[in-house]
Structure 1
Amino acid sequence: MLGSAALVRTGWSHAFRRAHVVRRLNATVAAPPVEPKHHRAWLFVSGIYPIRLGFLDLRHYLAIAQQDNLLQNLHSILNSVSTNAFSTVKLVPSPKYGGVFIQFECDDASEQGLADIRSAITDEASKNGGLHTWISFLSVHNGEVWPVRGEPWLEDLYRYVSPFVKVEFEGPDVHEEDLYALMRPFGRIHDISAPVPVPAGNLRSSTVAFVGLRSAAAAHSCLHGLNFKSSDSRMTRLKTTFEPARKANWFRDWVVNHPRISLPAAVFLVGTLSYAIFDPIRTLVIQWKMLGRFNFKELSLVKWILSNTVDRFAFRGSAAKPVEPVKAWTDREHSENTLRSYLADYPSTVTFVSGPVGSGKTSLMHQVVKESNRKAMVIDCSDLFKGGSDSSLLSSLARQTGYWPLFTMANQVGGLVDLAAVGLIGQKTGYNATLEQQVRDMLQVVASGLQGVASAHTTDVKRQEERQRRRIAHEEHRAELLERVERGAFHDGRIDCVAGNGVMSELGLGDEPVSEKDYDAKPPAPTVVNDEQGRMDQDVKFLPATQQDRLSNVPENIKALPVIIIKNFAARDVQRAEILDAIAEWTRTLVDNQIAHVVVLSDNRENSKRLAKAMPNRPLTSVALSDADADSAVTFVTTSLSKNGGNMTLTKDQISNVQLLGGRASDLQTLIHKMKSGQGVEDAVNDIISRGVSELRKNAFGDDLEDAKSLLWTREQAWAVVKKLAEKPDLSYFDTLLEFPFKGDETALRAMEHAELIAIHAHEGRPSSIRPGRPVYKVVFQRLVGDSIFQATQELAFNEKAIASAEKTVHTCEAELQTLRELSNESYMSRAAKHRAKYLSSKMQEAQTKIEALEGKNVGLKKVISHGR
Structure 2
Amino acid sequence: MISRQFLSRPMARHGHGPLVRYRLPVLSSQPTRLAQRWKSNIGTDQSGHIEAKENESIIFVDNLFPLKLSSLLLWRPWKSQHDLPKLIQRFETSMGIFDPMGMVKRAIPSSLPMEITEIIPRTKEGGAYVKFTYPPDKSGAEIQAQLAKTLEEQPIKPWFSPFRPITSGLVLGRPWLEDLYRLPKSRLRVEFVPAKNSEQPEELSQEALYSIFRRYGWIADITSQPPDSKVLPKYAYVDFVLVKDAIMARNCLHGFVLQEEGSKIATKLRLSYEQRVKAHNIWKWLSSHPRIVLPVVAALLATFTVIVFDPIREFFVKHHVQKSLEFTDSRLYKWLKRQTSDILSLYKKHGQDGGLNALFSHRKDLIDSIKSSLLESVASFVVIHGPRGSGGKELIMDQVLEGRKDVLVLDCKSIVEARGEAGIIRKLAFQVGYRPVFSWGNNVSNLVDLAIQSTTGVKAGFSENLESQVVKILQTTATALKEVSLAGRKKDDQDAALSDEAYLEAHPERRAVVVIDNFLHKAEEKGIIYDKISDWAAALVQSNAAHVVFLTTDTSFSKPLTKSLPDRVFHQVTLGDLSPEVAKHFVVSQLENGHRREEKEAKANDKNENIEKALAKTDKEHRQDLQELDECIEALGGRLTDLQVLARRLKVGQSPKKAVSDIIEQSASEILRMFLLTGNKTNDGVDKKWSTEQAWYLIKEIAKNDSLKYNEVLLANTFASSTTPAATNPEAALEALANTELITVKSQHGRPATIRAGKPVYLAAFARLLEDPVVKARMDLALLTELAKIEAKNIDKAEQELGLLAGLPNAPTQAAPRVNYLLAKLQASQKKIEGFEKEMGNLKKTLAEES
TM-score by length of 1: 0.73
Per-residue Cα deviation, 1:259-300 (whole angstroms, up to 9, x for no partner): 333333443444433333333333333333334354344444
Contact 1:458 1:557 survives alignment (8 Å): no
Q: After superposition, what is the alpha-carbon deviation per residue over 1:696-741, rounded to whole angstroms, capped at 9, x for unaligned? A: 1121111689999974422221111111111223222222122211
What residue in structure 2 maps to residue 850 of structure 1?
832
Q: CA RMSD in A?
A: 4.3
CA distance in 1: counterparts of 2:73 and 2:545, whole angstroms: 53
CA distance in structure 2 between the aligned counterparts of 1:196 and 1:380, rounded to whole angstroms: 75
Structure 2 matches for 1:752-791, cutoff 5 A? 752-791=737-776
Q: What is the deviation of 1:307?
A: 6.4
Q: Sequence identity, in percent?
A: 28
Q: Which amino acid aligns with 2:411?
A: D
Q: Does residue 637 in structure 1 map to residue 587 in structure 2?
A: yes
Matched ranges for 1:185-334 at <5 A = 185-190=216-221, 192=223, 194=225, 205-231=235-261, 232=263, 234-244=265-275, 246-247=277-278, 249-300=280-331, 306=336, 311=340, 314=343, 320=350, 322-323=353-354, 325=356, 327-328=358-359, 330=361, 332-334=363-365
- Secondary structure at the counterpart of residue 719 of structure 2: coil
- Give the secondary-structure state (helix, strand or coil) at the position aligned to 1:653: helix
Matches within 5 A, 1:607-646: 607-644=557-594, 646=596
What runs of 5+ residues in structure 2 fail to find an aligned partner?
A: 11-53, 78-87, 195-200, 494-503, 597-618, 721-728
Displacement of 1:675: 1.0
Deviation at 1:835, TM superposition (A): 3.7
Given that 1:320 and 1:644 are in contact with CA atoms closer than 8 Å, whether structure 2 keeps it comes out as no
- C-alpha distance after superposition, 1:124-161 (max 9, x if no partner): 22xxxx7345253xxx4566555444455566654334
Matched with 2:421 is: 390
Question: Structure 1: how far apart are the matches of 2:689 and 2:565?
Answer: 31
Query: Which letter does structure 1 place at the counterpart of 2:446?
Result: G
**Structure 2 residue corresponding to 1:41, chosen from 25, 33, 58:** 58
Question: In the alignment, what sits opposite 2:639?
Answer: 664
The question of 1:339 aligning with 2:370 is answered: yes
- Aligned residue number for residue 379 of structure 1: 410
Whichever residue aligns with residue 761 of structure 1, its letter is K
Structure 1 equivalent of residue 607 of structure 2: none
Counterpart of 2:535 in structure 1 is 585
SS in 2 for 1:439: helix
1:664–1:52 Cα change, 3 Å: same
Matched residue type, 2:153: D
- Shift in alpha-carbon separation, 1:288–1:631, aligned structure 2, 3 A: same
Residues in 2 aligned to 1:377 and 1:246: alpha-carbon distance in whole angstroms: 60
Secondary structure of 1:685 counterpart: helix
Q: Which residue is equivalent to 2:691? A: 714
Which residue identity lines up with residue 762 of structure 2 in the other structure?
Y
**8 Å Cα contact 1:195/1:204 also seen in 2:** no
Note the C-alpha offset of 1:90.
7.4
Shift of 1:777: 0.4
Deviations 1:544-570 (A, max 9, x none): xxxxxxxxxx99965654332222222
Q: Distance in 1 between matches of 2:825 and 2:117?
A: 132
Q: Distance in 2 between matches of 1:559 and 1:161?
A: 76
When normalised by structure 2's length, the TM-score is 0.75
Q: Structure 1 residues 395, 40: CA separation in 2 closer, same or farther (over 3 Å shift)? A: same
Q: Which moved more, 1:679-688 or 1:713-722?
A: 713-722
Counterpart secondary structure, 2:287 = helix
Q: How many residue pairs end up in the alignment?
A: 729
| Structure 2 residue matching 1:605: 3-state secondary structure | coil
Task: Name structure 1 gaps, 5 residues minimum.
Answer: 7-36, 463-553
Alpha-carbon shift at residue 377 of structure 1 (Å): 2.6
The separation in 1 between residues aligned to 2:167 and 2:118, in whole angstroms, is 18
Q: Is the 8 A contact 1:46 1:145 kept in 2?
A: no
Residues 29-108 of structure 1: pairs in structure 2 closer than 5 A: 39-46=56-63, 49-52=66-69, 54-55=71-72, 68-69=97-98, 71=100, 74=103, 78=107, 82=111, 85=113, 94=122, 96-99=124-127
Map of 1:421 onto structure 2? 452
Shift of 1:109: 4.5
Change (3 A) 1:863 1:328: same
Say yes or no: does 1:675 pair with 2:701. Answer: no
Cα distance change on mapping 1:705 and 1:159 into 2, 3 Å: closer
* Alignment match, 2:152: 122
Query: Match for 1:701 among 673, 676, 682?
Result: 676
Secondary structure class of the residue paired with 1:794: helix
Secondary structure of the 2:585 match is: helix
Structure 1 window deviating more from structure 2 (410-419 vs 210-219): it is 210-219
Secondary structure of the corresponding residue to residue 706 of structure 2: coil
* Structure 2 CA distance for partners of 1:715 and 1:147, relative to 1, 3 Å: same
CA distance in 1, matches of 2:627, 2:512: 48
Give the whole-Å Cα distance in 1 for the aligned partners of 2:277 and 2:304.
27
Secondary structure of the structure 2 residue equivalent to 1:719: helix
1:401 corresponds, among 409, 415, 432, to 432
Partner of 2:183: 160
CA deviation profile, 1:299-336 (whole Å, cap 9, x unmatched): 445666x469x839956788847226353255532332
Does the aligned pair in 2 maintain the 1:186–1:215 contact within 8 Å?
yes
Q: How does 1:784-863 map to 2 (within 5 A)?
A: 784-817=769-802, 819-820=804-805, 825=810, 830=813, 832-858=814-840, 860-862=842-844
Deviation at 1:693, TM superposition (A): 0.9
Give the drift of 1:374: 2.0
8 Å Cα contact 2:384/2:575 also seen in 1: yes
Mark the CA change 1:79 to 1:861 in structure 2 (over 3 Å): closer, same or farther: closer
| Equivalent residue, structure 2, for 1:22 | none
1:735 equivalenced with 2:712 (yes/no): yes
Alpha carbons 2:113, 2:134 under 8 Å: kept: yes
Cα distance, 1:764 vs structure 2 = 4.4
Letter in 2 for 1:381: C
Q: Distance in 2 between matches of 1:556 and 1:220?
A: 85
**AA in 1 matched with 2:693:** E
Instruction: Check conservation: 1:167, 1:239, Cα contact below 8 A.
Output: yes
Tell me which residue corresponds to 2:517: 567
Aligned to 2:760, the other structure's residue is in SS state coil
- Change beyond 3 A, Cα 1:363–1:142: farther
Given the superposition, is the C-alpha separation of residues 833 and 672 from structure 1 closer, same or farther in structure 2, using an over 3 Å criterion? same
Matched residue type, 1:285: F
**1:604–1:112 distance in 2 versus 1, CA, 3 Å:** same
Quickly say closer, same or farther: Cα 1:142–1:666, change in 2 above 3 A.
farther
Equivalent residues of 1:163, 1:209 under 8 A apart: yes
Partners of 1:149 and 1:335 in 2: CA distance? 107
Offset, 1:78: 2.4
Deviations 1:565-593 (A, max 9, x none): 22222254665111221222222233333
What amino acid maps onto 1:175 in structure 2? L
